[in-house]
């Protein structure tokens, strides 16, 4: 079952560009590297993949590239969220047809729906498709928070298997574990808060930092799963400056710059996103050296 594989370090893949276009070979080679480094799963077309600035055709093409590159070796999660429920259904159906294992669906950003509206959005998508759904709660970007009681309602839908929780609220995972059951998958959307989530019964992280330090992120989760909590804490401490540096400006600007330093893509982002300022670049380079991922 896919739920057994939704754990550990999932990378929220950057979408690599070359001369403003998707670097297809580079993107698939990047996924190959991620798998070689030990990453447990990949997310195509999340926020880090710049989904808001890609056309629907580009978005769907990137999902196909990811499925092809992963070739069944690790789960492929496809970001198919939208602030239009009909559009979300269309993207989700495509991800299912393309062979994705699971979809990640964000709340209705900008619209700021009510709690009942949130439930009805996920209900409509759930009833229109036949693929496992992970709910993405990130109020800092969408302007609306899925309250635990609403998450409980959503969790009862037939295809919903878990959530990506990006509030970093200290009690959120425990409350949702109580309301939704311990089988309900909860993955962190905040690299810096992942150990807290794991300690409360969470399952893994959909990580920005894993783009840059995939082996370390995977080892941290494997240490935790193996009961070596001290090693997991030590690795997290090693990664903390990098976690912070990659969000010192609006993501994915800093992480695109960071993977470019490692030879992946040209570091460019699409407007209205911009490349990071020199001060941020220095901070990213220093943090990468501290983490041991850049000479």
Residues designated as active site: 136, 164
The helix (run of H) or strand (run of E) holding residue 165 is strand 160-165
Task: Round to whole Å and give the CA distance between 270 and 22.
Answer: 11
187 backbone dihedrals φ, ψ, rounded to 5°: -120, 140
Task: Round to whole Å and give the CA distance between 265 and 29.
Answer: 11
Q: Give the residue among 266, 283, 287 at the shortest CA–CA distance from 17.
A: 266
Q: Give the residue among 50, 80, 86, 47 at the shortest CA–CA distance from 63.
A: 80
Contact 168, 193 (CB under 8 A): yes
Taking CA atoms, 52 is separated from 66, 81, 264, in Å, by: 18, 10, 21
> CA-CA-CA-CA torsion for 179, 209, 239, 144, nearest 10 degrees?
-40
Give the other-Cβ count within 10 Å of 51's Cβ. Answer: 21
Taking CA atoms, 23 is separated from 43, 61, 129, 133, 240, in Å, by: 17, 12, 30, 28, 30
Q: Give the residue among 223, 212, 206 at the shortest CA–CA distance from 291.
A: 212
Taking CA atoms, 229 is separated from 112, 183, 222, in Å, by: 39, 22, 10
Exposure string (b/e) for 147-173, b if CB count within 10 Å is 16 or more?
ebebbbbbbebebbbbbbbbbeeeebb
3-class DSSP state of 223:
helix
């Amino acid at each position: 079952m896919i739920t057994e594989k939704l754990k550990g370090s999932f990378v929220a893949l950057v979408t690599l560009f070359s001369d403003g276009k998707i670097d297809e070979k580079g993107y698939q080679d990047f996924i190959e590297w991620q798998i070689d480094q030990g990453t447990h799963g990949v997310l195509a077309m999340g926020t880090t993949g710049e989904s808001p600035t890609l056309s629907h055709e580009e978005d769907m093409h990137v999902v196909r590239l990811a499925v092809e590159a992963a070739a069944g070796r690790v789960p492929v999660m496809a970001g198919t969220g939208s602030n239009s429920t009909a559009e979300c259904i269309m993207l989700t159906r495509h991800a299912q047809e393309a062979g994705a294992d699971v979809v990640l669906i964000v709340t209705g950003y900008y619209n700021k729906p009510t709690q009942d509206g949130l439930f009805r959005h996920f209900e409509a998508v759930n009833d229109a498709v036949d693929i496992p759904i992970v709910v993405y709660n990130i109020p800092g970007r969408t302007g609306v928070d899925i309250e635990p009681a609403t998450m409980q309602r959503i969790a009862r839908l037939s295809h919903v298997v878990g959530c990506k929780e990006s509030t970093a609220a200290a009690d959120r995972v425990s409350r949702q574990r109580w309301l939704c059951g311990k089988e309900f998958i909860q993955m962190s959307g905040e690299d810096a808060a992942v150990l807290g989530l794991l300690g409360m019964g969470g399952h893994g992280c959909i990580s920005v930092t894993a783009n840059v330090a995939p082996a370390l992120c995977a080892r941290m989760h494997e240490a935790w799963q193996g009961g070596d909590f001290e090693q997991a804490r030590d690795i997290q401490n090693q990664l903390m400056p990098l976690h912070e540096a990659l969000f010192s400006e609006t993501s994915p600007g800093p992480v695109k710059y960071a993977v470019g330093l490692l030879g992946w893509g040209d570091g460019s982002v699409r407007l209205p996103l911009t490349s990071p300022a020199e001060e941020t670049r220095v901070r990213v380079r220093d943090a990468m050296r501290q983490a041991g991922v850049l000479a």
